[in-house]
Amino acid sequence: MTTTTAPVAAPAATHEAGSPSGLWSWLTTVDHKRIGVLYGVTAFIFFLIGGIEATLMRIQLAKPENTFVSPDVFNQLFTMHGTTMIFLAIMPLSASFFNFLVPLMIGARDVAFPRLNAFSYWVYLFGALFINASFFLGGAPNTGWFGYSNLTSSQFSPGHGVDFWAVGLQILGIASLAAGFNFIITIVNMRAPGMKLMRMPVFVWMTLVTSFLIILAFPVITVALVFLLFDRLTGTNFFQPAMGADPVLWQHLFWLFGHPEVYILILPAMGIVSEVLPTFSRKPLFGYPVVVYSGIFIGFMGWGVWSHHMFAVGLGPIADSFFALSTMLIAIPTGVKIFNWIATMWGGRVELKTAMLFAVGFISMFIMGGLSGFMHASPPADLQQTDTYFVVAHIHYVLFGGSMMGIFAGLYYWFPKMTGRMLDERLGKAHFWLTLIGMNVTFFPMHFVGLLGMPRRVYTYAPNMGFDAMNMMSTIGVFGIILALLFFIANVLKSRASGKPAGNDPWGGSTLEWAISSPPPPHNFGTIPTVHSLDPLWAKDGAEITRTAGQVRGPIHMPPGSIWPLVAALGMTMLMSGMVFGWYVGIPGLVIMLTGLYSWSFEPCD
């Protein structure tokens, strides 16, 4: 697809004329919407894989001294469950929304670097496949998702699992960095006329903050992983205590990345919820500037709290006090956001569509996760809670009750925009209620079993410890979540084929994406709208924007598809995987990568 010149009447016709179908068109696509769909589908599949890993662990822990999986497999499962959910599911699910929505919400035709965007996706896909290949090539990583040194040294982890993990995270980091830069540049440069920073939708703001966190946090873990790989592959001593190194260095580097990473996982969901709540309350977001500033403040403060993951390390009373106070401080902007969300609904006309139920569910569950987080912000209390199931409960209220509920809210909200069809509300509501009940049955007892002394990451427990009933309950809850997901999958499959047609704006939203057809044409906007207010479609000139947004008034230049981002991504993954597989994979990888980059650079763009 190159240039659309003729004005087109029916949006559906534009779609068909403009989007070639077939496998090749997907392999070469540089359309941010298609890349968004690719991200979403791939990440959801990895979400299911991570879910299967969790289910196997829960079956193992259903009763004491169970032998459903071996200890080593269990250790691989919890390592890969954490790694998968964080790096292969939630982050790319957020990226899926960034991709699909940011250009639409800011009134742009694509992201700033469409081919780099495709490159990000392919690197993510190949990196994800690489790290999971370890299951079949001698065993997956088994040192936990934060891989503490010196357990990860060749001495204590002689297999290749840790190499797969470290190289895989490096590969995934490149995907994240490329995407982070792409979205910052897109948001800074490509907004429609009149869309000042303080007129950007909150979701775009949160994308911007998240992207900054990504480009600043990933270099830190990159350095840590380079040290680790040097130690393992070339015999350096960055983390080797026998040679005088301090393995706590790893913890500082990892959590200096890791805590901003937590906000990378939650801020996009907060952005989604900040879009869903106003639409279904028929009322603008309450205190928009404060919600935006809180998000920025959370992103900023996320850099000053990392050692609250390390209260048991023994950093001394001054460090413990500092990190306790800075952590507690984050409760303020978080609380402010929650109050503003509630105030958005106050006095509104709250329509409890599935998207809205998930948004309210997000707030409700995130309060739980936030409050348990507040409890272990206090170091002495944390010393009884850290490394127990209490923390497992906390992280799942934040990431499942928080991030995933937010992502589901976004899916129900924007699915009509993505596909042109509505999701079924009855199946959706079943999905929501089962998720809410299932997750609480699963994770709520974990608070108690943790306070009653069950450490995390144990493949077995003794029968006389009082852990039995609560573990059985958690295991039963998982099947509620599985049932909920089956409803969701059935809903998507059914609605995609025969859902009610959505029209441009099924919910009466206020942001620009609702001004154009569903799904949007490849060029998004025929006429780029001029924005005069925060909620453009709810403003006086909203009807005018809606009327003109689809009109094509002249030639539109769109970048052609390209296979080279995929080739470069494949070559780069092979090159890096050579650190595990050997030079005979690495050298061909280098050649393929250079071919890809060279052809990409000299490919004509018109």
Partner 1 sequence: MTPSRRRSKPLRLAAGLLVLGALALAGCALKDYPQSTLTPHSDLAWAIQHLLEQLTFWVVLIFVLVEGMLIVTVMRFRSRPGSPEPKHVHGNTALEVAWTIAPALILTFVAVPTVLTIFKTQAKAPAGSLEVKVVGHQWWWEFQYPGQKIVTGSELHVPVGRTVALSLETADVIHSFWLPIVGGKRDVVPSRTNHIWFTADSVGVFPGTCAEFCGISHANMHMKLFVDTQKDFDAWVAAQQQPPIEPDSTSLAGKGKAMFLEVGCAACHTISGLSPGIIGPNLTHVGSRTSIAGSTYPNHPEYVSQWLANPQARKPGALMTNLGLKPDQIAALTAYVESLK
Which uninterrupted H or E stretch holds 23? helix 23-27
Closer CB to partner 1, residue 188 or residue 342?
342
Cα(56)–Cα(203) distance, rounded to whole angstroms? 35
Closer CB to partner 1, residue 383 or residue 591?
383
Its sign, for the CA torsion 518, 521, 527, 530, is: positive
Dihedral in degrees, nearest 10, Cα atoms 203, 358, 478, 53: -20
Q: How far is the CB of 460 from partner 1 (least distance, A)?
A: 5
Footprint on residues 42-81 left by partner 1 (CB under 8 A): 70-72, 75
Decide: is 262 part of the binding site for partner 1 (CB under 8 A). Answer: no
Contacts with partner 1, 140-179, as mask; x by CB under 8 A: --xxx---x-xx----x-----------------------
Which residue stretches of 468-563 are H helix? 468-498, 542-549
Footprint on residues 89-118 left by partner 1 (CB under 8 A): none
Contacts with partner 1, 283-322, as mask; x by CB under 8 A: xx-xxxxx---------------------xxx-xx--xx-
Decide: is 383 part of the binding site for partner 1 (CB under 8 A). Answer: yes
Residue 72: burial class (beta carbons within 10 Å; 0-12, 13-18, 19+) = middle
For residue 521, CA distances in Å to 411, 510, 515, 518 come to: 20, 20, 12, 8
Cα(170)–Cα(532) distance, rounded to whole angstroms? 43
Measured in residues, the chain has a length of: 606
Q: Considering all CA atoms of the chain, what is the largest pairwise distance in Å, rounded to the nearest integer?
A: 76
Footprint on residues 113-142 left by partner 1 (CB under 8 A): 142
Decide: is 560 part of the binding site for partner 1 (CB under 8 A). Answer: no
At 388, give phi and psi (nearest 5°).
-120, 180
Q: From the list 281, 435, 474, 504, which residue makes contact with partner 1 (rule: CB under 8 A)?
A: 281
Q: How far is the CB of 423 from partner 1 (least distance, A)?
A: 19
CA 131 to centroid of chain Cα atoms: 18
- As a whole number of Å, the CA-based R_g of the chain is 24
Q: How far is the CB of 585 from partner 1 (least distance, A)?
A: 29
Closer CB to partner 1, residue 144 or residue 586?
144
Footprint on residues 384-403 left by partner 1 (CB under 8 A): 384-388
Closer CB to partner 1, residue 189 or residue 321?
321
Q: How far is the CB of 339 from partner 1 (least distance, A)?
A: 4
Residue owning tokens 């990409």: 600
Residue 58 tokens read as 């829960």
Do 400 and 368 form a contact (C-beta atoms < 8 A)?
no
Contacts with partner 1, 451-470, as mask; x by CB under 8 A: xxxxxxxxxxx--xxx----
Q: How far is the CB of 172 from partner 1 (least distance, A)?
A: 22
Q: How far is the CB of 280 from partner 1 (least distance, A)?
A: 8
Which uninterrupted H or E stretch holds 3? strand 3-4
Q: From the list 335, 559, 560, 588, which residue makes contact with partner 1 (rule: CB under 8 A)?
A: 335
Its sign, for the CA torsion 277, 278, 281, 284, is: positive
Cα(438)–Cα(14) distance, rounded to whole angstroms? 43
Footprint on residues 531-550 left by partner 1 (CB under 8 A): 538
Do 152 and 247 form a contact (C-beta atoms < 8 A)?
no
Half-sphere exposure of 180 (CA within 13 A, CB side): 20
Q: With CA atoms as reference, report the closest residue to 124 among 49, 66, 74, 174.
A: 174
Closer CB to partner 1, residue 22 or residue 317?
317
Closer CB to partner 1, residue 104 or residue 368?
368
Cα(436)–Cα(447) distance, rounded to whole angstroms? 17
Closer CB to partner 1, residue 230 or residue 374?
374
Closer CB to partner 1, residue 508 or residue 555?
508
Which uninterrupted H or E stretch holds 4? strand 3-4
Q: How far is the CB of 311 from partner 1 (least distance, A)?
A: 9
Footprint on residues 1-30 left by partner 1 (CB under 8 A): none
Contacts with partner 1, 221-250, as mask; x by CB under 8 A: --------------------x--xxxxx--
- DSSP designation for 284: P
Q: Give the Cβ contact number of residue 242 at 10 Å.
A: 9
Q: With CA atoms as reference, report the closest residue to 46 among 109, 115, 132.
A: 132
Footprint on residues 353-382 left by partner 1 (CB under 8 A): 360, 363-364, 367-368, 371-372, 374-375, 378-382
Q: How far is the CB of 420 from partner 1 (least distance, A)?
A: 25
Number of residues that bind partner 1 (CB under 8 A): 89
Contacts with partner 1, 489-528, as mask; x by CB under 8 A: ----------------------------------------
Q: How far is the CB of 452 from partner 1 (least distance, A)?
A: 4
Q: What single-letter amino acid sits at 550?
A: G
Q: How far is the CB of 370 from partner 1 (least distance, A)?
A: 9
Closer CB to partner 1, residue 113 or residue 507?
507
Footprint on residues 190-219 left by partner 1 (CB under 8 A): none
